[in-house]
Structure 1
Amino acid sequence: MHQGWWLLRKRLLPLLFLISFFAVLLLNSFAPAVAQLPAQTRQEIRGVWLSGNDFGVFRNRSQVQAAMSQLRQLNFNTVYPVVWNDGYTHYPSAIAQKIGIPFFFKGTDGQDVIADIITQARRQGLLAIPWFEFGFMVPLTSELASQHPDWLTQKQDGTQTSISAAGEVAWLNPFHPEVQKFIRELVMEVIAQYDADGVQFDDHMSLPVDFGYDKYTISLYTQETGNPPPPNPQAQAWIKWRADKITTFMVDLYQTVKARKPNAIFSVSPNYYDFAYKLQLQDWLNWVRLGIVDELVMQVYRNDLESFIGQITRPEILETQQIIPTGIGIMAGLRNRPVSIAQIQSQVRAAQQRGLGIGFFYYESLWDIAPEPAEQRQSAFAALFPNSALRDISENTPRQPTFNTISLPLYPKPSLGQRVRGYFLEVAIANGQPKRILLDTGTAGLRVPQEFLGNAPIRRTGQNIKEVLSDGTVLEGELVYTNVRFGLIPVAEPVPVQIVTSRQCTAQKPNCSAKSGVPFSGIIGVNYFEKTLPYNPLRKLPGNLSNGFIAIGNGGSNKNGSLILGLTADNQAGFKMASWTQQSEINGVPGKRWDSRLSKVCLTIAGSSAKNACNGRMITDTATINGLTEFKSAATAGKLKPGVLRSANALKVAINGIFDYSLTPGTRDGFNRWNLSISPQVELPIFVNPGIAFFDKYDVLFDPVNGRQGFRSRR
């Protein structure tokens, strides 16, 4: 947003529109199901950016005071002073100076200009939201780029710069932890140093789609996906991976800001969505839906009114304004390209007619550098905003995501270990790096090794707990409480987690998984048959996402399955339901507790005495590789001996009218192996666990609200 911006944008506009047009044709739009929220009365945005071009004015205390007074008289309510621009902070920053970035933006009296602007704005009842204009963008010649070349990313050909509105610039790598730490510390420094009303990030909190081919990012992508980045920078999966990484950082940044000041406004000012996502990897609509944006001001710098209206009536704007205060960024003029007041008036009125607020770029062009006299311009602005509309951040409380439902991938391989088959969910614990953890629909509770934890606060209980798995593995470790994120969705509050520090086998099953020496990849138990703490962490997902889930297998392929969070009328279609039995509640476990072992299960095994006996119990379990039948009595097994069934022992498991599952036993782990055991000490006469292969044939639904389980045939 510098003086040459408009001329550059004018020259590039036809090319940008052409690129965007073909990008829209090539890529599917991101459109998950979202909650339909009722329209609410929202605080109207009437803001103006105080850019680097304005600092000639704002270095003078008396001019700051006059400017804030004038804005208040004209019924503006928000100013966005720039604090991060051209690789420098516009305020005295200990963080920046620590890494060798000099500071020279003092006022004419040696004062802190940002402190002065914020103080004078507040005296006039205006919100002051510091603006991190450059985001991840930085001049290649800056001290930051020179001293930290490993922080920069690059294009596939090794090029480190791109042409932007600010000229030729380099890009900090948004995936690098040191870059993320630096930006996070700058943001928190501003929040703490000035008790700022919020922070704002614009279209540069992003990365041009051609970037991301630096060594660090290539290694990270290869580690997580098993393949190097594709040579086509616009490959859909490559775009999504990078955009999701930026989103993950923004989720973390939002939570960090809110932990310090819960009512701070987390503001975003991007380009229109198709351009932002597909060409800048900025998935801001997802940010809105995730509940991490408190206000949005979309930049719509157009001369033509018809084009302007087309942008402000886009579906993403209509959706966003139902959720948060939403405004439109309007070009008030540049030094080398002034904008007439007539154009400004027509655009403001078009936005106001649609219930949208306004943000003007930038202060001096409101009336100081304009084609009309200042008095005429100020009179026109007074007519546009005839009534006062002050804003109050006390009502700006943290929001919940607006998703009704969302689908997360279930990966066929973990982050660690060599398990043959399984479904693994990506989980980040205590702000740690996402890890693929075994999804277990047969147990409850999140259990991970110490090294999976990040640096977020952990509440320790000092309570050592023990969990015995079905294969005889004993997990021991402390119960703690901390935040957890599934994909991009954080839990609403800290959940109990077992930090596993010891694994061993029971005497009865000495060949358990602990004996193999394979590193523990973690288990996330999502059953609702909790016996004690920890409980199923999905119970603490926000909003509708906590009301149940659907596990969809991958059909025995190497492709991903899906975990659909949040049950809706649409995604429950086609399921046949079986009821669970309600259990007594456990102190400390939210919601209802259910015995998810299904009753009246019919079992037939060729060569056994089990001939369509419908008195069995069954559990569907993604963590069990092979199917299992457990008999209390040897008589029920007939001539069969404990061990692996043979192909002659064809079996069928069914619940009348719900599902009918048949299998010919074989020798392939996870596909057709079936074990039989006889255990007189067990609780149930006949118990069946069909194992993970069951999920190749059926989608399985878990409904903890109504206490039922659903089955939908996939074949």
Structure 2
Amino acid sequence: MVVSSARMAITGHCTSIVHRSLPVSSRTTVSLATLLVLIMAFILPASIAFAQSTNMPEELRAVKITNVASDVLFSDESIAEAMDYLASIGINAILPVVQNGGYTQFYSEVMDEYFDRPLDPRLNGRDVLEVVLREAHRNGIEVYPWFEYGFAAHYSGPNGPATGGFIGATYPHWMSVDHEGNVCKKNGFDWISGINPDVQEFMLKLIMEVVRKYDIDGIEFSDRMPALPRECGYDEGTVALYRSEHDGADPSPFPRNATWTRWRAGKLNDFYRAVRDSVKTYDEELFVASSPNIYPWGYNEYLQDPVTWASEGIVDHLIPQLYRYNIDDYNFELNKTLTDLPEEVRSIYFAGILMNVGSYTISEEYLRASIESNRAMGVAGEAYFFYEGLRQNNNALGDMLGREYYYEPATIPGRNGEIRRVATSIDEYQDVNPGTVLLAGNYPNPFNPSTQIRFELPTGSAVELGVYTVTGQRVATLIDEWLPAGTHRVSFDAGNLTSGVYVYRIRAGDRTQSMKMTLVK
């Protein structure tokens, strides 16, 4: 049997199977019924690999993918090749940019409504997120769309005038200002006010558009959301809100005043809580992740409050940017940011590692030392900025990670030992083009006794979704009605069925697709 994905694993006590040979570290007796189910799943013609293992390590192995200093997102072929490579070295999550330079890297009806600019013009009409999801999920990799610019409207550079770009031109009252009335600018970025209710409403719409429209696994914020330069916050909208809560009093004219700082940081925290509540209400299995500036510097300069985010359960993954150029400075920040957190929430802490930027690329020696420090401190995983560093020097760093650290498949912390995205063969998607119905798989898989099936409709259509035995006997009809365009989910309860492999088949218009799922009782 040829395994077309980079890696797949068998459930229960069976040994993981990967693209390269690995030593078997332990063996445990399995029931005959369970073993037969697993064998059937491999010999049947359907192409889904499946996994669910309590024996796998739990580690976050994430990589950020940008549209700057990288060509990956500018062709479908590059995306597919990148996902294949990342899977081959053990990466289990990617953080692809979806908001950069004021534009979105997905087709956004919200951006179209607000700005008549639904998509980054450099993408020539391509919905990059759609392609990334397809190729990443084909390889069993989770996807957390990264809202990179956050509350930064525009990059005007160190010397250019702060205008806010087309966002500031369209909604000038969104722009934050300092106490002198100047448009808020820091490190070359022009800022809108993340405290302004109108700005928060827009951003929440944009985030939830991604959540509802795409079959994602979580969302990712970084050092510009939620955030606001401490010098700023004197725009009319923010000041009016402050006055309404302080008997008409104005905020302190001193931007570093502790009370004024705490109030603004608290408002940004409130926004983050609203984001989490909205995301979890829609799908509680989606993760909310953040890679903020290091604390307390990020709080003092950008009002970022990751200690509160972690302590109050606002984030599922906290990935501080430990972006330092030598191991001594790295270890200092690792120890400080980790010990700043209450011990009971440190399990959600992962290390942000600077892989490359500009002419800098981390050395193999430094990268090894960083990972060893992480594990010594009980930190179970990393997120790398950014992808291109893995591929430099003929894939030297990426291959080293796969060979020395990520050779064994790992589940993502917080998934309770289950694999959310099950690798499939490329044949599963080869006839699926934009504008066609797409089965997005079921989760969990294997399952007992219920699972959720997801699918995407480009247009409204009469839909029939049924479940069958491998011999073709229908055991359930889940949907038989007209449905509107969009992402749909349906639950399947197999409580009255026996363990085995089942096929679910969707018919929408003139298209039919099938996938496998495995019931293990």
1:283 alignment counterpart: 305
Partner of 1:186: 206
- CA offsets 1:199-230 (integer angstroms, 9 cap, x no match): 11111010011001112222222221232111
Q: Counterpart of 2:475?
A: none
Q: Is 1:268–1:297's contact at 8 Å kept on the other side of the alignment?
A: yes
Answer whether contact 1:320 1:326 (CA < 8 A) is retained.
no
Task: Give the structure 1 partner of residue 147 of structure 2.
Answer: 132
Residue matched to 2:370: 347
CA distance in 1, matches of 2:376, 2:314: 27
> Which of 327, 332, 338 matches 1:305?
327
Amino acid aligned to 1:362: F
2:237 to 197, 213, 216: 216
Whole-Å Cα distance in 2 between the matches of residues 137 and 264 of structure 1? 25
Query: Which amino acid is 1:282 matched to?
Result: Q
The CA deviation string for residues 399-447 of structure 1, in whole angstroms up to 9 with x for no partner, is xxxxxxxxxxxxxxxxxxxxxxxxxxxxxxxxxxxxxxxxxxxxxxxxx
Closer, same or farther: CA 91–320 of 1 in aligned 2, 3 Å: farther
Aligned to 2:107: 92
Specify whether residues 231 and 191 from structure 1 end up closer, same or farther in structure 2 by C-alpha distance, changes over 3 A only: same
The alpha-carbon deviation at position 49 of structure 1 amounts to: 0.3
Unaligned runs of 5+ in 2: 1-55, 155-162, 419-521
Tell me the distance in 1 between the aligned counterparts of 2:311 and 2:320: 16
Please tell me the residue identity of whatever aligns with 1:223.
Answer: S
Q: Is the 8 A contact 1:218 1:229 kept in 2?
A: yes
The percentage of counterpart residues that share the same residue type is 27
- For residue 69 of structure 1, the aligned residue among 77, 80, 84 is 84
What's the CA shift for 1:365? 1.8
More moved, 293-302 vs 281-290: 281-290
CA distance, structure 2, for counterparts of residue 393 and residue 187 of structure 1: 22
Distance 1:64 1:315, change over 3 A: closer
SS of the residue 2:252 aligns to: coil
Q: Cα 1:353–1:143, aligned 2, differ >3 Å: closer, same or farther?
A: same
- Tell me: CA distance 1:184–1:42, structure 2 relative to 1, closer, same or farther (3 Å): farther
Of structures 1 and 2, the one scoring higher in RCO (CA 8 A, sep 6+) is: 2
Query: What whole-Å deviation, never above 9, does each CA across 1:270-323 have from its counterpart, x for those lacking one?
Result: 111211222211112111111111111110111121111111112645636742
The amino acid that maps onto 1:267 is: A
Q: Report what 1:143 is aligned to.
A: 166
Shift of 1:105: 3.9
Q: Distance in 1 between matches of 2:343 and 2:71?
A: 35
After superposition, the Cα gap between the structure-2 partners of 1:303 and 1:188, relative to the gap in structure 1 and judged at 3 Å, is same
CA–CA distance in structure 2, aligned partners of residues 298 and 147 of structure 1: 33
Counterparts of 2:94 and 2:339 in 1: how far apart (Å)?
A: 22
Partner of 1:379: 399
| Distance change >3 Å, CA 315–CA 175, structure 1 → 2 | closer
**One-letter code of the match for 2:197?**
P
TM-score between both structures, scaled by the size of structure 2 = 0.63
What SS does the corresponding residue of 1:196 show, helix, strand or coil? coil
Preserved CA contact (<8 Å) 2:252 2:260: yes
Q: Output the CA distance in 2 between the equivalents of 1:118 and 1:393.
A: 21
One-letter amino acid matched to 2:267: K
- Aligned partner of 1:589 in structure 2 is none
1:177 counterpart = 2:192 = no
Paired with 2:261 and 2:123, the residues of 1 have a C-alpha distance of 46
Asked if structure 2 preserves the Cα contact closer than 8 Å seen for 1:330 and 1:358, the reply is yes
2:282 to 247, 252, 260: 260
Question: Letter of the aligned partner of 2:411 in structure 1?
Answer: L
Quick one: which amino acid aligns to residue 296 of structure 1?
L
Task: Provide the TM-score with structure 1 as the length reference.
Answer: 0.47
Task: Provide the C-alpha distance between the structure 2 equivalents of 1:55 and 1:393, rounded to a whole number of angstroms.
Answer: 30
SS at the partner of 1:132? Answer: coil
Q: Unpaired segments of 5 or more residues in structure 1?
A: 1-40, 398-715
> Is the CA contact 1:101–1:143 (under 8 Å) kept in the aligned structure 2?
no
Equivalent position to 2:59, from 33, 38, 44: 44
C-alpha distance in structure 2 between counterparts of 1:345 and 1:336, whole Å: 20
Aligned equivalents of 1:63, 1:332: Cα separation in 2: 20
Please give the residue correspondences for 1:212-251 in structure 2 after superposition, counting only pairs within 5 Å.
212-226=233-247, 227-251=249-273
Aligned counterparts of 2:257 and 2:229: Cα–Cα separation in 1: 14
CA 1:108–1:301: 2 relative to 1, 3 Å: closer
Partners of 1:77 and 1:124 in 2: how far apart? 9
After superposition, the C-alpha distances for 1:344-398 in whole angstroms (9 at most, x for unaligned) are 2222221122222111101112223xxxx2243333122132321133875499x
- Contact 1:265–1:396 (CA under 8 A) maintained in structure 2: no
1:327 alignment partner in structure 2: 350
The amino acid across from 2:405 in the alignment is L
Q: CA RMSD in A?
A: 2.3
The 1:106/1:196 distance shift into structure 2, 3 A limit, reads farther
| Contact 1:209/1:280 (<8 A) preserved | yes
Q: Which has the higher strand share?
A: 1
> More deviation in 216-225 or 301-310?
216-225
Confirm or deny: 8 A CA contact 1:48 1:363 kept in the other structure.
yes
Is the 2:186–2:229 Cα contact (8 Å) retained in structure 1? no
Partner Cα distance (1:347, 1:374) in 2: 22
Q: Secondary structure at the match of 2:274?
A: helix
Name the SS of the counterpart of 1:298 in structure 2. coil
Aligned length: 350
Please state if 1:56 is matched with 2:71. yes
Q: Which residue of 2 aligns with 1:114?
A: 129
Distance 1:222 1:108 in 2: 43
